[in-house]
Amino acid sequence: MRTALSRLNDQAPAALYMLQRVLKSKTVIGAAGGLLASFVRLIRRTSSLKEDPPGVIQNNMPDHPLIIAMWHGQGLLLPFLRTRDDINVAIMVARHIDGDIVDATVARFGMTTIRGSGSGRSGKNKGGYAALRACMQALRNDTTVALTADIPPGPARKAGLGLVTLAKYSGRAIMPCAVVSSRYFKLNNWSGFTVNLPFSSMVIAGGEQIRVPRHATASELEAARKALEESLNEVTARAYKLSGTTERGGPAGETAREYGAMLRGYTLATRLLQPVAPLLLKYRQRHSKEEAGRTGERLGIPSIPRPEGPLVWFHAASVGETNAILHLIERLMQERPDLHVLLTTGTVTSARLARARLPDQAIHQYVALDTPDFMKRFYDHWRPGIALLTESEIWPNMIREARRRGIPLVQVNGRISPRSYRRWRKRAGIARPLFSSFDLVLAQSNRYAGHFERLGSRNVIAAGNLKMDAPALPVDMQVLAELRKAIAPRPVFLAASTHRGEEEIVAKAHLALKRDIPGLLTIIAPRHPDRGEAIRDLLKTHGLSCARRTDISAPSNAHDIYLADTIGELGLFYALAPVVFIGGSLVPHGGQNPVEAIMHDAAVISGPNIHNFKEAYNALLDANACVEVQNAEELAARALILLQDESTRKTLVSRGRQAVAAMSGALELTLEALAPFLPPRPPKRERRRAS
DSSP characters over 396-453: HHHHHHHHHTT--EEEEEE---HHHHHHHHHTHHHHHHHHTT-SEEEESSHHHHHHHH
Q: To 10 degrees, the CA torsion angle through 448, 449, 455, 456? A: 160
DSSP-assigned letter for residue 556: -
Q: How are beta strands 194-196 and 184-186 bridged, if at all?
A: antiparallel
Angle, CA 63 vertex, CA 59 and CA 68 arms, to 5°: 85
Q: 314: closest CA among 254, 386, 377, 404? A: 386
User: What is the mean predicted confidence (pLDDT) over 352-359?
Assistant: 90
Angle between helices 502-514 and 532-540 (to 10 degrees): 40
Q: 553: closest CA among 496, 488, 489, 480? A: 480
| 67/151: higher pLDDT | 67
**What is the predicted pLDDT for the residue at 457?**
86
**Residues 563-620: tens digit of each pLDDT:** 999 988 999 999 999 999 999 999 999 999 999 999 999 999 999 999 888 889 999 9
| Contacts of residue 385, Cβ cutoff 8 Å, sequence gap at least 6 | 310, 311, 312, 407, 408, 678, 679
**What is the predicted pLDDT for the residue at 24?**
63
CB 528 within 8 A of CB 350: no
CB 324 within 8 A of CB 467: yes
Distance between alpha carbon 315 and the CA centroid of its chain, in Å? 15
Least confident range of 153-167, 291-305, 363-377, 588-602: 153-167
List, in sequence order, every residue forming a beta bridge with 605; answer none if it has no partner: 581, 627
Least confident range of 409-413, 430-434, 630-634: 430-434
**Residues 627-660: tens digit of each pLDDT:** 999 999 999 999 999 999 999 999 999 999 999 9
Residue type, 120: G
Is residue 194 left, alpha or beta, with left meaning phi > 0 and alpha meaning psi from -120 to 50?
A: beta
User: Rounded to an integer, what distance in angstroms lies between the CA atom of residue 245 and that of residue 201?
Assistant: 9
User: Rounded to an integer, what distance in angstroms lies between the CA atom of residue 345 and that of residue 329?
Assistant: 14
Least confident range of 58-72, 75-89, 248-262: 248-262
Write phi, then psi, for 495 (nearest 5 degrees): -110, 110
Q: 149: closest CA among 216, 228, 96? A: 228
Angle between helices 396-404 and 372-382 (to 10 degrees): 50
**What is the predicted pLDDT for the residue at 169?**
92
Write phi, then psi, for 455 (nearest 5 degrees): -90, -5
User: Rounded to an integer, what distance in angstroms lies between the CA atom of residue 344 and that of residue 589?
Assistant: 25
**What is the predicted pLDDT for the residue at 569?**
93
Residue type, 321: E
pLDDT tops 80 at residue 410: yes
User: Which SS3 state, helix, strand or coil, does residue 188 take?
Assistant: coil
**Residues 498-543: tens digit of each pLDDT:** 999 999 999 999 999 999 999 999 999 999 898 999 999 999 999 9
pLDDT tops 70 at residue 318: yes
Domains of the chain: 19-242 (3.40.1130.10), 256-468 (3.40.50.11720), 477-663 (3.40.50.2000)
**What is the predicted pLDDT for the residue at 685?**
56
Could you give the percent of the chain with pLDDT greater than 70? Answer: 91
**Of 321, 391, 569, 596, catalytic:** 321
List, in sequence order, every residue forming a beta bridge with 70; answer none if it has no partner: 148
Half-sphere exposure of 69 (CA within 13 A, CB side): 36
**What is the predicted pLDDT for the residue at 338?**
94
Could you give the percent of the chain with pLDDT greater than 90? Answer: 60
Q: 180: closest CA among 77, 68, 55? A: 77
User: What is the mean predicted confidence (pLDDT) over 27-41?
Assistant: 89
Residue type, 467: K
Q: 464: closest CA among 222, 671, 667? A: 667
The mean of the pLDDT values for the chain is: 87
Give the N- to C-terminal CA distance of the chain in Å, as an integer.
88
List, in sequence order, every residue forming a beta bridge with 186; answer none if it has no partner: 194
User: Rounded to an integer, what distance in angstroms lies between the CA atom of residue 385 and that of residue 383?
Assistant: 7
| Contacts of residue 534, Cβ cutoff 8 Å, sequence gap at least 6 | none
DSSP string across 608-669: S--GGGHHHHHHHHHTT-SEE--SHHHHHHHHHHHHH-HHHHHHHHHHHHHHHHHH--HHHH
**Residues 319-345: tens digit of each pLDDT:** 888 988 999 999 999 999 999 999 999
Write phi, then psi, for 200 (nearest 5 degrees): -125, 175
3 state SS for 111-141:
CEEEECCCCHHHCCCCCHHHHHHHHHHHHHC
**What is the predicted pLDDT for the residue at 284?**
94
DSSP-assigned letter for residue 289: S
Q: What is the pTM assigned to this prediction?
A: 0.66
How many Å is the maximal CA-CA distance in the chain? 94
User: Rounded to an integer, what distance in angstroms lies between the CA atom of residue 64 and that of residue 12?
Assistant: 52
Angle, CA 275 vertex, CA 272 and CA 286 arms, to 5°: 130
**What is the predicted pLDDT for the residue at 684?**
65
| 255/136: higher pLDDT | 136
**What is the predicted pLDDT for the residue at 12?**
46
Q: 351: closest CA among 339, 338, 371, 367? A: 367
User: What is the mean predicted confidence (pLDDT) over 466-493?
Assistant: 93
- Alpha carbon separation from 81 to 58, 194, 270, 302 (Å, rounded): 10, 17, 51, 58
- Alpha carbon separation from 597 to 31, 162, 170, 497, 601 (Å, rounded): 61, 38, 45, 11, 7
Residue type, 405: R
| 635/360: higher pLDDT | 635
User: Rounded to an integer, what distance in angstroms lies between the CA atom of residue 313 and that of residue 317?
Assistant: 13
User: What is the mean predicted confidence (pLDDT) over 150-170?
Assistant: 83
CB 610 within 8 A of CB 591: yes
Question: Is 222 tagged catalytic?
Answer: no
User: Rounded to an integer, what distance in angstroms lies between the CA atom of residue 562 and that of residue 490?
Assistant: 12
Q: What share of the chain is helix, strand, coil (3-state, %, to 5)?
A: 50, 15, 35
User: Which SS3 state, helix, strand or coil, does residue 284 take?
Assistant: helix
List, in sequence order, every residue forming a beta bridge with 114; answer none if it has no partner: 92
pLDDT tops 60 at residue 121: no
User: Rounded to an integer, what distance in angstroms lies between the CA atom of residue 653 and that of residue 647?
Assistant: 10
pLDDT tops 80 at residue 190: no
Q: 609: closest CA among 469, 422, 418? A: 418
CB 53 within 8 A of CB 77: no
User: Rounded to an integer, what distance in angstroms lies between the CA atom of residue 276 and that of residue 658?
Assistant: 52
